Structure 1
Amino acid sequence: MKRKRKNIVDDAEFSGFHARLTVYSSGGPFLDGYILSIIAIALIQIRPQLHLNTTWSGLIGASALIGIFIGGFMGYVTDKFGRQLMYTIDFIVLIVASILQVWVQTGWELFIIRLILGISVGADYPIATSLLAEFSPKKQRGLMLGVTLIAYYIGSTVAYIVGQVMLNIGPNAWRWILASSAIPAVILVLLRMGTPESPRWLLQKGRKTEAEKVLKQVYGPTASLQDIVMPDGSTGKTSYFTLFMPGYLKRTLYVGLFYMAAVAPLFAMLTFGPEMLASYHLFEGASGYGAAIISALFLIGCIPALFLVNRMGRRMLIIVSFTGMTVGVLILGLFPHGPLAMIFVGFVLYAIFSGGPNVMEWLAPNELFPTEVRGTAVGITTCISRFGAVIGTYLFPWGLENFGIGPTMLVAAAVTFGGLIVCVLLAPETTNKTLNAASQPESVSRRKSPAP
């Protein structure tokens, strides 16, 4: 019997190239966490100086999220024109916008600049995660894409600490606090230079010679185009309509809705972490450090999920995770004035169990859609999620002011429970499948299944 040829891309050993690409691709999530969290500290000084009311505080807190919603549509651009080119351009825009925050004088100016920051971050999600997924070996794909989410919480934690320390500079410290995001962005632009284009994307565009050159550069002289044969059912055409066609519509709804249910309460908590902790009378006078601790708990929750995503399986992991998250936030809503230990348990449960959805947020869309619409899928599902996150972040301070922390967190519990229902009804299983197999629509998979 003829021995099946080992696929050099899917079965590759984890290499230095994979490690570097994982770090570089994690830059967008790191800056996302940093930018969305640093505003929470800066608002302490911004509110009185720019005379912001609750409405404007909510708008500025949500501005970067609105930008991420818009930037998600750039997934279509990266599918049309390539991953590598946009991989650097988006961060250059982010650097300029970060620095411009030093000179803002009104709420409107700050809103617009942070909108641009969000667009840059949102554009990076489909660019970087698609590139990473298309180079990942199947056994390490969950780990590599999951690490990018850990970078988000590292960025968030660092932002709270940096912001709290920099507040001591003076009454205008907030300008330099906001501009500080330019520093990691500059470092990442320099690191990303020279990253190769995705050979899957090149092949899908008919650029076979370039694709084979990249394969040999990364995997060695024995690599060939046979290692990235396009999956059955692949059209080669980039179109938004593909995401809503039979076979993919269910996947689009699943990723978009569970993503939205996961981040809507989460981003509101991170953006207004100090106000939320003050409502629970925790870390008064040093709420930035308290928010950093909460963010660090979310980071810790991602670590076991990275290793369970293959052992437990994608579907079971996300269902169990949403169950634990719902219980945690429900405790925070039912016992707003309860014992400190009870409140801490609620935070810990929500943060630790958030690890499952966090790991799946970029793993799922990159696995469930083919190369020609992979970036588009990441972008569109990010847009769906950020729509909920914008609403949650905008309404969170309003809810605290008008209803208090208890009812506000009960609403968050209802949203999280909705995510659990979505996962039970729609979550597929793609554990241990190659990227080609995982991205095939159900109709193609059924046609290929042998008759009983």
Structure 2
Amino acid sequence: MAQEEEIKMIIARANRIPVWSLPYTYLAIIGIGYFFTFYDISDIGLAMPAIDAQFHIGSSLSLFLALSVGLIGYAIGSYVIGTVADIYGRYRSMILTMALTAVGSLGDALSFNVPELAVFRFITGLGLGADLNLVSSYVSEFAPPGVRGRITVYTFIVGILGQAITPFIGLVLVPVYYNGWRYLFGIGAVIAFIALLLRFELPESPRWLAAKARDIAGAKKVLEMMESTALRRVKSLPEPKPEEVTLEEQKFPTLYVFRRPYSVRLAILVVMWFFWYIGNYAFLGDAETILASAGFPVASSIRYIAVGAVGYPVGAAIMAFTADRYERKFVIFADTVVWFIGLFLFSIKTGLFIYLGSFLAALALGMYLQVAYTYTAESYPTRARTSGFALTDGIGHAGGAFGAIFLPILVASFSFAFGFRFIAVTGLIAGIIALLGPRSSRKTLEAVSA
């Protein structure tokens, strides 16, 4: 059989499987890595007030260390390791990303001056940026078309618990112990090392093996394991229906992204993520500090965000039932409407509204993130999926740096209400832009990325 026919058959065999065809423990393994990712996204904002006080670094440098250094590493890591994943495989790259985050987080905990902290925040960012990219692409390449959104959300539910639990851990540690911020990072390092060890159990993506590595034997071996697992869950599998597959010259992955239709999708998704990340990082990184600056005690500021953080897993759970039922881009828009309402309530700056607004903002984040990650990953072809995701997410993160820096300026220059209503609007703009993207729900990856 010609190589093109072999690849078409491998993809057809993968697409015919109607259920998750790997051990369910693999979802947990991926989820633990996700848990650390969201744990770290939250812990830096909780730790920085104590780090600032001990290192006497000043608010401007504190903000740069807390967000900008990590975001620079995030963008670089996402693209570089995403490109490595397209060339050398998803499996090796997912081991690398978790190793970087584990070392980085341990270094954060052991840092005793500003340069050390900056270096390890950068290393942590390298791993975090790439891991968010890789997990979404990896799970999408294994999940059946009809339940791809739901399966990716399952891993996300485990991960988003990190964002829900971290504020409570921070509340117990940071205001109480002098080295509480070190303990906070240390806990993250332990979680990351556990996730690293567990990831050695994962298989390589058969789609990548066939389409990029041309390793037909390796792809078939993984597929046989998937089919065997699936047959224990369903009585039989339908006959594979090969789709058209074009074997193109093996090029540097990024070159594919700048060809139509992917260049148009890149533009849409970059702008979508840019506007979303403005509010995402501003809220996650600045909310506690701005509340404290507005006269709320530090413990109360953390408590408002911690109680609201219950919304993260609730939002993810909602998406487990809706991510595949409705067209994904419409779901993304609806999520941003919830975000807009939540931030508008938060901006009123009274106790009950802060709690409710914090909950709805967290609910919107829990609903938006994994569905939008899945949507981004499935919009690009296998040969450049992680590279396309990396460019999209990496450039989009410029919005995160913008939001984190300018929200405090907007609050100081205008008002608390103006600042938080501004990021409410930018989130809604992201949802409107998503409506310009392709349809993807219940389609095979090859049909979406064609």
> What TM-score, normalized to structure 2?
0.87
**Matching residue of 1:22:** 27
| Counterparts of 2:367 and 2:105, CA distance in 1 | 31
Indicate conservation of the 8 Å contact 1:68/1:120, yes or no.
Answer: yes
Give, in whole Å, the separation in 2 of the partners of 1:79 and 1:228: 26
Matched, 1:149 2:156: yes
> How many residue pairs get matched?
432
1:79 corresponds, among 86, 90, 106, to 86
TM alignment of 1:2-13, pairs within 5 A: 8-13=13-18
My pick for the range that moved more, 270-279 or 230-239, is 230-239
Taking the aligned partners of 1:181 and 1:355, their CA distance within structure 2 comes to: 20
- Partners of 1:431 and 1:220 lie apart in 2 by 26
Quick one: which amino acid aligns to residue 22 of structure 1?
L
**What is aligned with 1:38?**
43
The separation in 2 between residues aligned to 1:295 and 1:330, in whole angstroms, is 17
Deviation at 1:229, TM superposition (A): 5.7
Q: Write the mapping of 1:10-409 to structure 2, written as runs, cut at 5 A.
A: 10-15=15-20, 17-62=22-67, 63-73=69-79, 74-167=81-174, 170-204=177-211, 205-220=213-228, 232-233=245-246, 235=248, 237-278=251-292, 285-333=299-347, 335-336=348-349, 339-409=350-420
RMSD: 2.9
Residue 250 of structure 1: how far off its partner (Å): 2.1
Deviation at 1:218, TM superposition (A): 2.6
- Report the Cα offset of residue 210 of structure 1: 1.2
- The alpha-carbon distance between structure 1 residues 36 and 126, as it changes in their structure 2 partners (threshold 3 A), is closer
Task: State how far apart, in whole Å, the 1-side matches of 2:82 and 2:241 are.
Answer: 21
Q: 1:432 is matched by which residue type in structure 2?
A: R
Show structure 2 runs of 5+ residues with no match: 1-9
1:432 counterpart = 2:442: yes
Q: Identity of counterpart residues, as a percentage?
A: 24
Cα distance, 1:80 vs structure 2:
0.3
Unpaired runs of 5+ residues, structure 1, are 441-452
1:178-200 superposed Cα distances (whole Å, 9 cap, x missing partner): 22211111111121113111111
Note if 1:420 corresponds to 2:420. Answer: no
CA shift, 1:91, in A, is 1.6
Structure 1 residues 190 and 257 mapped into 2: Cα distance closer, same or farther (>3 Å)?
Answer: same
CA contact (8 A) 1:301 1:352 kept: yes
The 3 A distance-change label for structure 1 pair 282 and 302 is farther
- Which amino acid is 2:139 matched to? L
Cα deviation code 1:56-76 (max 9, x no counterpart): 121112122222111111211
**Over residues 422-445 of structure 1, what are the superposed CA-to-partner deviations in whole Å (9 max), with x where a residue is unaligned?**
123x122111111211111xxxxx
